[in-house]
Chains A and B, each alone.
Chain A
Amino acid sequence: MKRNNYSIGLIAVVLCLMAFLVQAQDKAEKGTIKIDLAYHQMNNDLPVIKVSAKTRKNKKFQPVEGVEISLFFNTETSQGFLGRVETSTNGAASLSLPVRFKAQFDSLFSFKFIGTLIQNDSFQDQSTELEITKAKIELTLEDIDSARTIHAKVLAFQDTGWVAQPETEIKLVVRRLMSDLTATEEETFTTDKNGDAAAEFSLNIPGDAQGNIIIGARIDDHEMYGSLVSTKAAKWGVPLASDSFAKSFTKRTLWATRDKTPLWLLIFPNLIIVTVWGIIFYLIYQINRIKKLGRTNDPV
């Protein structure tokens, strides 16, 4: 009897060990993934959540492609479900807050974004949270006697309404095609006790044909507010003199398409070709004449 108990116990232990080993194997095969969430909001539109998935390989972080991350708003429930995104080759993905959450978003002072990865074959389950306090930047442009100033005010949403935030780092920029150019002498400003930052705009920078440029104020990767950008268009740029290259593009050049062949190339070679081929056709016509003569003549 005792022997039976003993052997059953042994089998049970072995089974448990095996189960543990299998589980450990499972765990050992799956890598760990690091999910980073970033909050981006522009001009008080619906914010965009940017996801970045990385994994540690050979002591370096490598982006992870093709994993599906589920995003949630405040609660990890079907009500808070924002959507599912798949990371690109750079391990990046993004999702804008769906319209149906707008009312909820407008009413809250602060909120949480949750990103989860579950049931992935190569990686262990992972969950990340991002807490954001709602804030905005009020951007005003002042042009008095051609002295141009940019004013930015940082405000956070609290129960009393929008409250000015001091000690916040802010940058004042001109928005360009692929990046932002610093618009002011100093790189960054810190808002004063009224949440204000102001600087003189004295750049001589090209705008579009009418001289329009877009001025922006941005907060980058703030621990509470995320990344915010506020923009305003202004006629503060130098009107773009009609692009000298675009002008040459419409001219007749050797590198243009065939409809814009240089005139000398169009006229003289064609004249020569027409002349020479004219003679050739004349010669062929002469062959015809010889033919005719041969038919009408009596055989010699």
Chain B
Amino acid sequence: MSQLTNASKITTDLLPQKFGTGGRIWTGILVVLCLLGLYGYYRQVTLGLVVTNMRDYASWGIYISNFVFFVAISLVGSLITAIFRLASVEWRTPLTRIAEIIAVSAILFASIIIIVDMGRPERFTHLFLYGRLQSPIMWDVIVITTYLTISVLFLYFPLLHDLPILIKNSKDGSVRQKFYKFIGSFWKGTAAQFRISENAVRIISVMIIPVALAIHTVTSWLFATTYRPGWDSTNFGAYFVSGAFLVGAGGVVVAMYVFRKAYKLESYITEKHFDNMSKIVVLLALVYLYFNINEYLVPAFKMKKAEEHHLRSLFIGDFARLFWTAIVMSMIVPVVVLLFPKGRKPFPAFVMGLFVVVGAWFKRYLIVTPTMLSPFLPMYDVPDSYKRYFPSWEEWAITTGSLAGTLLIITIFTRLFPIIPIHETIEEMENIKHEKT
């Protein structure tokens, strides 16, 4: 009796709900930002990349740093869903779908933003017709496609388990129900089906980890395969991967808090979850800090001629304020705050998560732009604007639009699907009950 009640309570709690005023305003803002981004892109397509402030020296700008940010945050899928699963972390259940939808959405927009950065986006097909396997960009295209496919599968298999509940609880004959039926009306929850599904998820959990590592290592190689100061590092793969795990974990903490508040999921995403995730954030922040020290302290000790201008611009020059703020904000402050139990409560953890994510975005900007403004040969025989870089309004609009788009996809997802897997939660609860008796 109590089982049933609990199961039905879980279901009621976790079923996707209509948006309240807050939700509608939120969606509205995201849509507006997306439209602004589209308008910015329209200007870029018709007038050319001249509408950006990228020029011959800073030829890569916030589109590329945004791309790196998206790829980084998409690693969260493998972290939470795969690694936690393989390590049999029990409290992972409420977080898996959040992590996966962030991953899918982020990697989708990574592909979109990279097309936005192209000077000739209509020639995108050239990558497939004339692609050279020797180019790191080709490697990146291959791994991103692979990771996107695997992540979608990773999202899909567990989603099947919830579909009968969703179909049952939606209005007969509505578009929604048709949609649910289209995705998985064949899922009956039989033992045989579960066996296949569980097996698939197990396979993906193992496979997605090397692919996730590959995706961010290959993205780091877009920089490390050049000679430039700040990029010419053997450390870049590990440096990027550790940063990716950090920003992914931070992103999950932020999402946890938002969904918890918005959908009143306090009994599912508990304070223990925040406590545990915060500890993980601390660990990852320390690892990333370790890699940062290696990346900056060691070249600074040598102060090679080519690196000197670059390092100076980061430490005491044009980028100093941004650099130190990003380091403090995304690594040091979260570590300090989250070391304390009080700091690991939901709200402070959420704020630290925000710090990590925002700091990470600026950190990626600091990886891309300062190096481009420290070329080997002096910046000469060019207009003054070439020697600086600050993004134009179109660049900001498009970048914000892409971030808004990512959030929009996640928002729409939560409107259609339960953000916490219903079936798994019920199963877990029944297992606990069973163990107790």
Do any CB atoms of chain A lie under 8 A from CB atoms of chain B in the complex?
yes
Q: Which residues of B contact A9 (CB under 8 A)?
A: none
Cβ-defined partner of A294 (8 Å) among B142, B153, B188, B207: B188
Q: Which residues of A contact B390 (CB under 8 A)?
A: none
- Count of chain A to chain B residue pairs whose CB atoms are closer than 8 Å in the complex: 73
Q: Which of A255-300 contact B (CB under 8 A)?
A: 255-258, 261-262, 265-266, 269, 273, 276-277, 279-280, 282-284, 286-287, 289-295, 297, 299-300
Cβ-defined partner of A283 (8 Å) among B146, B188, B190, B200: B200
Q: Are A276 and B193 in contact (CB under 8 A)?
A: no
Is the C-beta of A254 less than 8 angstroms from some C-beta in chain B? yes
Cβ-defined partner of A273 (8 Å) among B146, B153, B160: B146
Cβ-defined partner of A290 (8 Å) among B133, B187, B203: B187
Q: Are B149 and A280 in contact (CB under 8 A)?
A: yes
Q: Are A279 and B131 in contact (CB under 8 A)?
A: no
Give the size range of B's interface with the partner: 20 to 34
Q: Closest Cβ of chain A: how far from B365's Cβ, in Å?
A: 30
Q: Are A300 and B133 in contact (CB under 8 A)?
A: no
Given known pairs A283-B203, A290-B160, the reply for A257 and B153 (CB within 8 Å) is no
Q: Which residues of A contact B88 (CB under 8 A)?
A: none
Cβ-defined partner of A300 (8 Å) among B149, B157, B188, B200: B188
Nearest A-chain residue to B133, judged by Cβ: A261
Q: Are A258 and B130 in contact (CB under 8 A)?
A: yes
Q: Are B193 and A294 in contact (CB under 8 A)?
A: yes
User: Could you tell me the distance between the alpha carbons of A175 and B285 in the complex, rounded to whole angstroms?
Assistant: 69
Give the size range of A's interface with the partner: 20 to 34
Given known pairs A283-B203, A289-B196, the reply for A276 and B211 (CB within 8 Å) is yes
Q: Are A255 and B204 in contact (CB under 8 A)?
A: no
Q: Are A280 and B150 in contact (CB under 8 A)?
A: yes
Q: Which residues of A contact B160 (CB under 8 A)?
A: 290
Q: Are B133 and A283 in contact (CB under 8 A)?
A: no
Is the C-beta of B270 less than 8 angstroms from some C-beta in chain A? no
Q: Which residues of B contact A269 (CB under 8 A)?
A: 133, 139, 142
Given known pairs A290-B193, A294-B187, A295-B186, the reply for A280 and B153 (CB within 8 Å) is yes
Q: Are B134 and A255 in contact (CB under 8 A)?
A: yes
Q: Are B131 and A258 in contact (CB under 8 A)?
A: yes
Q: Which residues of B contact A256 (CB under 8 A)?
A: 134
User: Could you tell me the distance between the alpha carbons of A276 and B203 in the complex, rounded to whole angstroms?
Assistant: 11
Q: Closest Cβ of chain B: how far from A17's Cβ, in Å?
A: 55
Q: Which residues of A contact B199 (CB under 8 A)?
A: 286
Q: Closest Cβ of chain B: how far from A151's Cβ, in Å?
A: 52
Q: Which residues of A contact B204 (CB under 8 A)?
A: 283
Which 9 pairs from chain A and chain B are nearest by CB?
A294-B186, A291-B186, A258-B132, A261-B133, A254-B134, A294-B188, A290-B193, A286-B200, A293-B193
Known contacts A265-B133, A293-B193, A294-B187, then 13 further A-B pairs from the complex at CB < 8 Å, ordered by chain A residue: A255-B134, A257-B132, A258-B130, A262-B134, A273-B142, A276-B211, A277-B146, A286-B197, A287-B156, A293-B186, A293-B188, A293-B190, A293-B192
Selected A-B contacts with CB under 8 Å, 24 pairs: A255-B134, A258-B131, A258-B132, A258-B133, A258-B134, A265-B134, A276-B146, A276-B211, A277-B146, A279-B203, A280-B149, A280-B150, A283-B153, A283-B203, A287-B157, A290-B187, A290-B197, A293-B186, A293-B192, A293-B196, A294-B193, A297-B190, A299-B188, A300-B188
